[in-house]
Structures are given as structure tokens and as C-alpha cells.
Amino acid sequence: MASSSFPTWLALSDGGPVADLASIVGARTIQMTTDPLLFADLLRSARPRVAIISTPPAGPADIEVALDERRRRSSLRVVLISPLLAIAPRLDALRAGADEALADTIDPTELGARLALLEERARPKPSTVVIVSSDTELDLAAHEVRRSGTLVHLRPKEFQLLSVLASHPGRAYTRRQLLDRVWGTGHDGDPRTVDVHVRWLRSKIEPRPEAPVHLVTVRGVGYRLDPEGR
């Protein structure tokens, strides 16, 4: 959650089982709106953990807005709620990347429990998961990097280099320090080896590798990782 004043769940809905959620989970947990523009704005600014979209009032464009944010921010969970007979749209939403799709006949208490479970499963494990950027996470235990929920293939040295930088975000490392930490203190290779691996990493984790905002060059020093970007 971006701020303690923001809810962790955000809903685009005008009633149904969602209307009862505030009394079940607490008003501080969920915010509901019928305005698609406000929903889209809060989705990006408030950074809720769960986005709930009810049809109606939501339409295909509103669902795509939520799914686009889901692809950008892998910790977000998107749930569609639609009329009982709208089976095909629910299946389409799941195929497009929604985490759950439910009929509007669901009991509000069950809905609240399902949403809480989704939120809990979406939370990164602090001991193993390191945030690389808003849409990229590095799992030290699983030795995996995921961007927008998709596994990113990294060479072993790329993974080690990213692990060093991501474990200390905002800290600038010299090329020599990175060589010692990733290749070992006995390594006498060219420091430009680091530059090559940084270039490879940028091609895999940066929105625009030619204009990096996360894995940035610190002039006269080396490199640092900025998870929030510039």
C-alpha cells in the first residue's frame, strides 16, 4: 500500500456482494467507486493490493485498465465479478490475466475471505523476495526473477549481479566492488565485464533499455539500482 491513508482493496462496482464488503472487512480496507476514471487514477496512485471489477458498471475497457496495471505491477491481484450467466466473459478475463473471476451471486463473506487469501498470497516473503522495480521481483530462495509475473531468464552472473544491487537499493557500487562480489576477489578480469552484464540486465528488466531508470550509471563511480525509478 502506497500510504496508510489508502485502502488495500479498490473496487469499481455499484452494488452486489461488493457493497457488503466494507461492513465485513472494515471501511479502511476497501474503497468502492462507480466512476471508471477515478478507479483508473486510484489504481495507479493508491497502489491497492486487490482490484475488484464488477460488470456492470465496468466494461471491457475498464477490465483492460486493471489487467494492464496487473501486468505492470505483479503484486496486484485482479478479480472480476459478473452476472451469473456471464460465464464466457469470466473465462476470457482469466485467460487475459485476471487472478479470479466470480459470479455476483457469491456470498459477501466468502468473497471477503477469497480476496483476503489472494492478498495474502500476493505478499512477497521479505526474507527471500527482493523488489527490483514496480513490476520485477527477485526471489533469492527460488533463484528466479519475474517481471509482470513472467519468469525472466538470467545467466548465473547476471542473477548474482542483480542480487547484489537489489539487496542494497540506492547504493552505488564501483565496478571493482561488483567484480569482487560477483566474480570473487581473486578475479583479475577487466572491469568492463561488469558493463557488459549491466547491458544484458537492462535489456531484460528496463522498460526502455536505452534509457534506463532502474539500473542506472553513477558517473565517476559505477552502478546502483533504483527500484522506484527516476
pLDDT tens, position by position, 154-188: 999 999 999 999 888 889 999 999 999 999 877 77
Domain range 129-225, CATH class: mainly alpha
Given a cut of 80, whether residue 3 has pLDDT beyond it is no
Task: Name the least confident of 27-31, 46-50, 166-170, 190-194.
Answer: 27-31
Domain-by-domain residue ranges, the chain?
A: 9-122, 129-225
**What is the mean pLDDT of the segment spanning 66-79?**
89
Q: What is the CATH code for 9-122?
A: 3.40.50.2300
Q: Is there a contact between 138 and 157 (Cβ–Cβ < 8 Å)?
A: no
Task: Name the least confident of 3-7, 75-79, 88-92, 95-99.
Answer: 3-7
Of 94, 109, 23, the closest CA to residue 53 belongs to 94
As a whole number of angstroms, the distance between CA 36 and CA 33 comes to 8
As a whole number of angstroms, the distance between CA 72 and CA 146 comes to 11
Q: Is there a contact between 9 and 29 (Cβ–Cβ < 8 Å)?
A: yes
Mean pLDDT (the chain) is 88
Per-residue HEC secondary structure of 12-26 comes to: ECCCHHHHHHHHHHC
Rg (CA), the chain: 21
Helix 156-167 and helix 192-205, axial crossing angle in degrees, nearest 10:
80
As a whole number of angstroms, the distance between CA 67 and CA 142 comes to 26
Going by C-beta distance under 8 Å and a sequence separation of 6 or more, which residues neighbour residue 67?
A: 78, 93, 96, 97, 98
Angle subtended at Cα 182 by Cα 187 and Cα 210, rounded to the nearest 5 degrees: 110
List Cα–Cα distances, 230 to 14, 40, 205, 216, 226, in angstroms. Answer: 37, 22, 15, 9, 7
**What is the mean pLDDT of the segment spanning 179-200?**
86
**pLDDT at position 230, please?**
58
For residue 94, the Cα-to-chain-centroid distance in whole angstroms is 18
**What is the mean pLDDT of the segment spanning 124-130?**
68
**pLDDT at position 4, please?**
39
pTM: 0.54
